[in-house]
Chain A
Amino acid sequence: MKSFYVAGCDVGSTTGKAVILNHEGIQGQAVCPSEIDPEDTARKVLAMAYEKINDINTPQDLSYLIGTGYGRREIPFANENISEISCHAMGAFKCLPKTRTIIDIGGQDVKAISIGETGEVLDFSMNDKCAAGTGRFFEMMAHIFRMTLTQFSELSLQAQSIISVTSQCSVFAETEVITLLAKRKSAADIAAGIQSSVAKRCFTLLKKTGIQPLVTITGGCSKNLGLIKALEKRLRQPIHQLSIDPQLMGAYGAAVLAMKNS
């Protein structure tokens, strides 16, 4: 009898993520940089995820596959596609059933999601028009400091005070930060200011959907500890960590839904 595996594949703007599940739990997972063609990203990341599973050699060997993320409609071999909002909600809910509010910061958008007692989406709000506050924004900022994202995050945690970055626009924020660095202001304080400005934007988005505890964070930017610290300060409540890599949450939610729908 053929083994039963389901998968979720999240084709994001910056990275592709895949999670493979069976009744025993996660059997494979992977993250890879996005290709130009979403289908290529999906094939690549799925191949990485099922690399160590002997029963799966092609995506067709999966019992059910759900695509999500911006490229979800371009995965021809997926059985179904579901929006990333619903998938992140389901993934976070499955990991932390008491969670009611999710902030998802991806490469090119930010979403606030309010969820109900069964993991259903009650409301959501998103910024997909402006780069400010997205993963791409942090990449730009880290580049100014000649650092990796991890180094930038760690730098912000060393701040003694916060230097406000007032520009909301990514381009003008870059100019403002360069000016501050040229004035020999503390790099750590500037970095903390950047984290704080993004936290403010997230807070505005969260206010739209309502902030009910527990609050959690998903998406690639959930690895930015400086941002989490700034968000906790702004929200005046802790951001709860998820048991599974939060970057995989969309793919994990898709896999959970695949398990239900298969």
Chain B
Amino acid sequence: MNFFNKIQDQAIYYQSYLKNYYHILQLPVRQGPLRTIQHLKKYPWLWQLAKVNCLLDVVTHGRSGNYRKATASVVEMIVPNLMELLDNLDADPDRLILHEDMVPPEILSAMGLKTWMSELLGILLPIVDPHSVEKYIDVAENAGIPPDICSLPKSTMGIMLNKEVPPIKAIVSSNSPCDGGMASYQLIKRHLDVPMFQIDVPYNFYNERATEYFANELKKMIFWLETNTAGKMDWDRLRAICEERNKMAEYELELWETIRRRPAPLAAEAVFLSHLWCFNVRPGDPDGTLLFKKLVELARDNINKDIAAVPNEKYRAVLWNPPLLHFIDFFSFAEQHYGLTIINDSMSYNRQPFIDTTSEDSMLKSLAHIIMTGPMARHTRGPAENYFNDMFYMYSYFDLDMILIAGHIGCKNTAALNGILREKCRNKGIPLLIIEYDLSDPRVVTQDAIIQQLDRFMENIMKERRN
């Protein structure tokens, strides 16, 4: 890499760094010193989130040029968005709703409600600081929650049990994606003593009746929210949100098309973290659309200049299941030490992305369809074929060399499939690594032990030594 490129890479980093800190520092300015101190005392996780800019180090480490620019742009999107979400700590409690990650936030936003996604902290905190949710997991386990439940609902429950959640008016949850997650809301409801609506996602969803049924569930949810909160449904606003989301989805499809190319022009956080944030936390945000437009442009530019995201790309893989939250550097580690480009994760790969905005009913049906057939919902419930078909589709569509499974020990639903999966991959001759780890608790399997698993697999199966 020449000197000019190095300077350019440094400039990308520092530009983002300063921008992000500007947004982080705006929060205490908006809230004032007294409220800030009160919040820091009441919500100790704010100390961790104040370090969110360290995510920039993770995503830019070892990356250069457009790839670096793309991953930095994702963090530039997350940081101000997160700070805006934290404004909800002071939101009108009549409008603040606690919602589960499987509940479509589009509807809640269209109703003029402020949202607090229960699982967001459980996801974000270990990304920012690997050890940050351990204390919440301990709180939940000490309160009698079985230790073998997924650490995401456990950390979420721990936060709730510690009352480190802003005052809310109501809870909206669902029966997805797993029993542990679903059951956790009974505890949260009882502990926070607020009304809750739990939408029922049908188990067998490959038919029109299921879509009708689930769209009707969403209607019931809207009615319930209008009765129990200050929110009122604004269908025009929902249409605007859905249309914006569709634009973002169009760009995302284009992005996926570009990363089919070998070597990939962009990968990892530029592809999965952008989806995780923009589609699950802020769908319909025009800034999200702009981000995806930029990602597509950067990918196209790399293709035109024949530049690979990972210059020494030798292998391509997909990471199945959620990314390793407490070891988010895993992607760049694999790139630098093995020339292994992890181009995407399974959670981001939703092949049913568009919303029909022609009528109120069509919007609800499309949203219902997206939720029902979304990767996490369809992989952790329903027939095992959903899981395998998607995986092998991605394997051939993205011309992969191996499949890496993030074998989260708390996920009983997917753990149960591993035996069949091994058998299927063996028959197809697909190299498979099931990484044993815990989603958010590094005490169960440390980062070193995760690396050891990758090392053994790469050395023995792929015959590749670590650089």
Contacts and interface: CB of A to CB of B under 8 A. Distances in A.
A208 B456 contact: no
Contacts of B460: 83, 85-86, 121, 124
Interface in A61-89: 82-83, 85-86
Contacts of B426: 114, 122-123, 210
Interface residues of B, number: 10
B306 interface: no
Contacts of A247: none
Interface in B202-254: none
A123 B422 contact: yes
Main secondary structure of the interface of B (DSSP, over half): helix
Contacts of A123: 422, 426, 432, 461
B142 to A, nearest CB: 24
Interface string A164-204: 00000000000000000000000000000000000000000
A209 interface: yes
A83 B459 contact: yes
A143 interface: no
A209 B422 CA distance: 7
Nearest to B418: A208
A10 to B, nearest CB: 15
A16 B419 CA distance: 34
Contact of A85 (B419, B422, B432, B456): B456
Contacts of A210: 422-423, 426
A122 to B, nearest CB: 7
Interface residues of A, number: 15
Nearest to B423: A210
Contacts of A126: 456
B466 to A, nearest CB: 12
Most B C-beta atoms less than 10 A away, residue of A82, A86, A123, A124: A123
A207 interface: yes
A82 B426 CA distance: 24
Given A83-B456, A85-B456, A208 B422 contact: yes
A129 to B, nearest CB: 9
Nearest to B427: A210
Interface in B426-449: 426, 432
Contacts of B432: 123
B39 to A, nearest CB: 42
A83 B461 CA distance: 11
A106 to B, nearest CB: 15
Contacts of A86: 459-460
Nearest to A82: B459
Interface string B401-438: 00000000000000000010011001000001000000
B311 to A, nearest CB: 27
A210 B422 CA distance: 9
Interface string B263-278: 0000000000000000
Contacts of B423: 210
B396 to A, nearest CB: 20
A121 B422 contact: no
Contacts of A121: 460-461
Nearest to B457: A124
A121 B419 CA distance: 19
A76 B131 CA distance: 36
Contacts of A209: 422
A134 B269 CA distance: 41
Given A83-B456, A85-B456, A122-B426, A207 B419 contact: yes
Nearest to B455: A83
Given A83-B456, A85-B456, A122 B422 contact: no
A194 to B, nearest CB: 26
Nearest to B462: A121
Given A83-B456, A85-B456, A122 B461 contact: yes
Nearest to B426: A210
Nearest to B449: A129
Interface string A113-132: 01000001111101000000
B441 to A, nearest CB: 16
A82 B169 CA distance: 60
B89 to A, nearest CB: 42
Interface in A33-86: 82-83, 85-86
A210 B463 CA distance: 21
Contacts of A120: 463
Chain A CB within 10 Å, residue with most, of B419, B432, B460, B461? B460
A207 B418 CA distance: 11
A49 B463 CA distance: 29
Nearest to A114: B426
A171 B456 CA distance: 29
A173 B422 CA distance: 30
Given A85-B456, A123-B426, A208 B419 contact: yes
Interface string B386-410: 0000000000000000000000000
Interface of A: 82-83, 85-86, 114, 120-124, 126, 207-210
Given A114-B426, A208-B422, A210-B426, 8 more contacts: A83-B459, A83-B460, A120-B463, A121-B461, A122-B426, A123-B422, A124-B460, A210-B423
Interface of B: 419, 422-423, 426, 432, 456, 459-461, 463
28 contacts: A82-B459, A83-B456, A83-B459, A83-B460, A85-B456, A85-B460, A86-B459, A86-B460, A114-B426, A120-B463, A121-B460, A121-B461, A122-B426, A122-B461, A123-B422, A123-B426, A123-B432, A123-B461, A124-B456, A124-B460, A126-B456, A207-B419, A208-B419, A208-B422, A209-B422, A210-B422, A210-B423, A210-B426
Top 7 closest pairs, chain A to chain B, by CB: A121-B460, A85-B460, A83-B459, A86-B460, A210-B426, A83-B460, A208-B422
